[in-house]
Structure 1
Amino acid sequence: MIDFGSLILQLFSPQYTRHPIFPDFLTATLVAMAISVGMSFAFAMLRRKTTDIDRVNRIMKETNDWRKAYTAAVKKGNKDEIEELKKKQAYVNKMALEVQQQQMRPMLIYMLPSFLIWIFVFPSIFGQVVAISPIHIPWIMCSDQDVQNHQQLDDKGNPKGACEVPGEVYLWGWFLLTSFAFSGIVGKVTKTSMPSM
């Protein structure tokens, strides 16, 4: 009998190469960072095409102003102002929902191609680790335990883990760090940055 769960898991599990195209950390780090920034630009352009950014910014400003006014009224204990602001709450909630829908549209379009690239392309180009860092950040960098796993061999004689030294940065961790680091800059350059709710 075919175990479909295992088959699907095997198909969609990244197959990290042990012989990456960019074997040295310097090249892998720079190329992965360039791809990450490029993907951020692609997402920003997609957001620009699918979202009315000016309207979203106006709604978010109006929503933030309402929240600040409501919080201030509650702190003061001004019941008349609280009642007046509560009358506008349904409208504010409706606008906040519209903003969420507008923000989800490009994300849903971007997710499938991005997921396929992450599963099938990047692991075969970069391998599992792409950088090394002197600052340790848990979960996205190799720990001493990960290095010990690397020293153990599997049935085929290959190391079980990818980490040779502590501080190596996993592929997804490096993309995450560079994406966060450059998202503000990309947002300002493409004029797609949005205020937080």
Structure 2
Amino acid sequence: MNFQDLLMQFFSPQYTTNPWFPDMLSATIVALIIAVAMNFAFAMLRKKTTDIEKMNRVMKETNEWRKQYTEAIKKQDKPRIEELKKKQAYVNKMALEMQQQQMRPMLIYMVPSFLIWIFVFPAIFGGTVAMSPIELPFVTCSQDNVNTDTQTRTNEDGTTALTGPCRIPGQVYLWGWFLIGSFGFSGIISKITKTSMPSMT
């Protein structure tokens, strides 16, 4: 086994077959609570490391400049286009600064989050944590996934094990449930923590 294979094996999540929450209901609720808590923690980190008011002001100013520039081009208003072009360097500089501000909390959050995802969550929850009444591609187990995952394989020690986590069509993968929970509550958390950002359009 070469170094690349060892590295991939080390950083590949090892989902437990004996999760702390063996029943689907408790796993669903606890995983959702953790997803919301992590989303809240990220929002608070962003609030602490980012000048939200300045970012909102810069984003509004940038959006207004883009709107005016687009309208000037549509109307072929050359004097107005030239006038707005003089401000383009300033707008680009502010947009770059804004992007750097957004990246700062993300980079701080990413490393511990990655380690938790690789070493902690798979050992606590296993591969699936919830049930969905509808099939969502790549998020829930399909019948093909069930057919593949319920086959047995022989380990190096001679024991046998199922090849994957899917047992029933509609089971939601661990990462999928965290994704749904995070997106579902992100808007509410942004309003509570006052970290919502205006749209770039």
User: If the TM-score is normalised by the length of the shorter chain, which range does it land in?
Assistant: over 0.9
Q: What are structure 2's unaligned runs of at least 5 residues? A: none
1:118 aligns with 117
CA separation in 2, counterparts of 1:145 and 1:175?
Answer: 23
1:35 aligns with 34
Please give the per-residue CA displacement for 1:71-118, whole angstroms capped at 9, x wherever unaligned: 122222222222211111111111000000000000000000000000
1:164 aligns with 167
C-alpha displacement of 1:165:
1.2
The answer as to whether partners of 1:149 and 1:159 remain within 8 angstroms in 2 is no
Aligned 1:10-29 pairs, distance under 5 A: 10-29=9-28
Q: Tell me whether 1:185 sits opposite 2:188 in the alignment.
A: yes
User: Aligned partner of 2:3: which letter?
Assistant: F
Q: Tell me whether 1:109 sits opposite 2:108 in the alignment.
A: yes
Q: What are structure 1's unaligned runs of at least 5 residues? A: none
1:67 aligns with 66
CA separation in 2, counterparts of 1:68 and 1:132?
Answer: 44
User: Aligned partner of 2:184: which letter?
Assistant: A
CA separation in 2, counterparts of 1:196 and 1:11?
Answer: 39
2:126 aligns with 127
CA separation in 2, counterparts of 1:123 and 1:173?
Answer: 13
Equivalences, count:
196
The answer as to whether partners of 1:47 and 1:106 remain within 8 angstroms in 2 is yes
Of 98-107 and 86-95, the range deviating more from structure 2: 86-95
CA separation in 1, counterparts of 2:31 and 2:63?
Answer: 36
2:139 aligns with 140
| SS of match in other structure, 1:154 | strand
C-alpha displacement of 1:17:
0.4
User: Aligned partner of 1:103: which letter?
Assistant: Q
User: Aligned partner of 1:32: which letter?
Assistant: A
| SS of match in other structure, 1:31 | helix
C-alpha displacement of 1:59:
0.2
C-alpha displacement of 1:196:
2.5
1:51 aligns with 50
Fraction of identical pairs, as percent? 66
C-alpha displacement of 1:138:
0.5
Q: What value does the CA root-mean-square deviation take over the aligned residues?
A: 1.1
